[in-house]
């Protein structure tokens, strides 16, 4: 009897040990290959019991809807978007069960997590439309005017520390609607045209004017930043040096000028604005200016004085004139209309001082942009007037501009 009891005890112990070993082996993870691990379908919970679902207040069941919570479509519809074929189109139609024979599927979301059936297709179509349709860029014309001006006191000294609240802008006889930007400009890149009268009327002062012009270019043109060109004119304009930042080449261009012939000053201004400055490439804001040395007598031009001024206004060019005569109403008119200044040196050596004043002014200006009132894209000429709140200050700028055409 004792032997049987001992034998049964040993057998029970062996059976318990075997069961414990089997359970321990099942708890140890296997080491599948990366491919198998990547492609194996995720474990899915068992499908819920087919119990009638209570209608959600925001998702009332409609005729034709299922009254039970069916399993969601199987494996194909559950694939991540990243695994779909490139270029495959999205669809808002319900996915069909997979034909791969998979029997395990994720449960469908509860009705509370889904939009109403009548809304869901619209949302899906909207998402598809947003994803596939190209973005449309709408270009709106900007009715903004940019203007450069200088401010000086009654002694002619430049004032450089003013704010936009120190000014009022009158555009086409109406106050501007808004000043959009305002800042002091002392370091803008320059595009300068040097126009030198090479007619017989200036022969006696020609050499000195050449030397003064060379000194000016050497002082104001900064390599890799500013550019200038040289034009001599008598009956026709003659470009002796095109746009460059090389002051040595500019000096050679000035020295290459030879005096002789008649005077077509308006033609030279028109040409320099239309064919040189207006066509010169610019990658950002620049200051365009012409320095004109002449006695102001024109006897051969094909364009008029006003046509030359209009072209300068269209090219946004400021013209500074240095007279080789003691008077010159024509030169005053050209400078004043474009926002520049006219100089009348009494002695030859005063030409150098005139160039120095121009250099100082080009580095002592303000830049403003504003929105005019009642602006119309009609190509009409509109006047500009900038008034300082301090009555003792003098503002000098161009007299107007031409509105763009539609």
Domain boundaries, the chain: 145-185+377-402, 190-363
Q: What value does the mean pLDDT of the chain take?
A: 77
Class for the domain spanning 190-363: alpha beta
**Residues paired with 388 in a beta bridge:** 167
pLDDT confidence bin for 83, thresholds 50/70/90: very low
Does residue 67 contact residue 51 with C-beta atoms inside 8 Å?
no
User: 122-126, 202-206, 247-251, 272-276: which range is least confident on average?
Assistant: 122-126
**103 CB contacts (<8 Å, ≥6 apart)?**
74
Could you read off the pLDDT of 86-126 as tens digits, one per residue? Answer: 333 443 444 433 333 444 444 444 444 444 444 444 434 43
Judge whether residue 207 has pLDDT over 50. Answer: yes
Residue 162 DSSP code: -
Does residue 299 contact residue 265 with C-beta atoms inside 8 Å?
no
381-388 and 167-171 strand pairing: antiparallel
- pTM over 0.85? The answer is no
Higher pLDDT, 339 or 18: 339
pLDDT score at 109: 46
pLDDT confidence bin for 5, thresholds 50/70/90: low
Could you read off the pLDDT of 247-270 as tens digits, one per residue? Answer: 999 999 999 998 888 899 999 999
Higher pLDDT, 128 or 265: 265
Q: Report how far residue 223's alpha carbon sits from residue 122's, in angstroms, rounded to the nearest whole number.
A: 62
Q: What percent of the chain is predicted at pLDDT more than 90? A: 54
Q: Report how far residue 256's alpha carbon sits from residue 250's, in angstroms, rounded to the nearest whole number.
A: 10
Does residue 143 contact residue 375 with C-beta atoms inside 8 Å?
yes
With helix as H, strand as E and coil as C, how does 19-82 read? HHHHHHHHHCCCCCCHHHHHHCCCCCCCCCCCCECCCECCECCCCCCCCECCECCCHHHHCCHH
Dihedral sign for Cα atoms in the order 59, 64, 67, 68: negative
């Amino acid at each position: 009897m004792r032997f049987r009891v001992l034998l049964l005890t040993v057998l029970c112990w062996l059976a318990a040990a075997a069961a414990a070993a089997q359970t321990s082996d099942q708890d140890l993870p296997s080491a599948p290959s990366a491919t198998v691990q990547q492609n194996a379908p995720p474990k899915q919970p068992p499908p819920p019991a087919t119990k009638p679902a209570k209608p959600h207040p925001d998702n009332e069941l409609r005729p034709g809807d299922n009254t039970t919570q069916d399993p969601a479509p199987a494996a194909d519809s559950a694939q991540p978007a990243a695994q779909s074929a490139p270029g495959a189109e999205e669809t808002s139609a319900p996915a069909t069960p997979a034909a791969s024979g998979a029997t395990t599927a994720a449960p469908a979301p509860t009705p509370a997590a889904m939009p109403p059936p009548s809304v869901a297709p619209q949302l899906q179509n909207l998402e598809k439309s947003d994803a596939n349709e190209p973005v449309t860029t709408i270009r709106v014309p900007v009715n903004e005017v940019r203007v450069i001006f200088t401010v000086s006191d009654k002694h002619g000294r430049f004032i450089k520390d003013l704010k936009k609240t120190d000014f009022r802008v009158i555009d086409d006889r109406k106050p501007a609607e808004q000043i959009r930007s305002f800042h002091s400009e002392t370091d803008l890149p320059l595009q300068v045209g040097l126009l030198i009268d090479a007619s017989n009327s200036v022969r006696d002062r020609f050499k000195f004017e050449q030397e003064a012009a060379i000194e000016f270019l050497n002082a104001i043109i900064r390599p890799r930043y500013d550019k200038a060109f040289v034009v001599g004119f008598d009956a026709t304009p003659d470009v002796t040096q095109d746009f460059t930042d090389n002051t040595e080449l500019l000096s050679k261009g000035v020295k290459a000028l030879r005096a002789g012939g008649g005077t077509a000053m308006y033609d030279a201004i028109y040409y320099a604005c239309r064919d040189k400055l207006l066509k010169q490439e610019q990658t950002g804001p620049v200051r365009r200016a012409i320095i004109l040395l002449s006695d102001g007598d024109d006897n051969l031009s094909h364009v008029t004085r006003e046509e030359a001024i209009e072209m300068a206004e269209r090219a946004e060019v400021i013209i500074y004139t240095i007279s080789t005569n003691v008077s010159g109403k024509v030169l005053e008119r050209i400078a004043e209309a474009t926002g520049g200044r006219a100089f009348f040196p009494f002695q030859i050596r005063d030409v150098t001082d005139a160039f120095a004043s121009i250099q100082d002014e080009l580095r002592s200006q303000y830049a403003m942009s504003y929105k005019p009132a009642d602006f119309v894209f009609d190509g009409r000429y509109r006047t500009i007037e900038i008034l300082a709140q301090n009555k003792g200050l003098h503002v000098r700028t161009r007299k107007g501009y031409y509105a763009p055409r539609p």
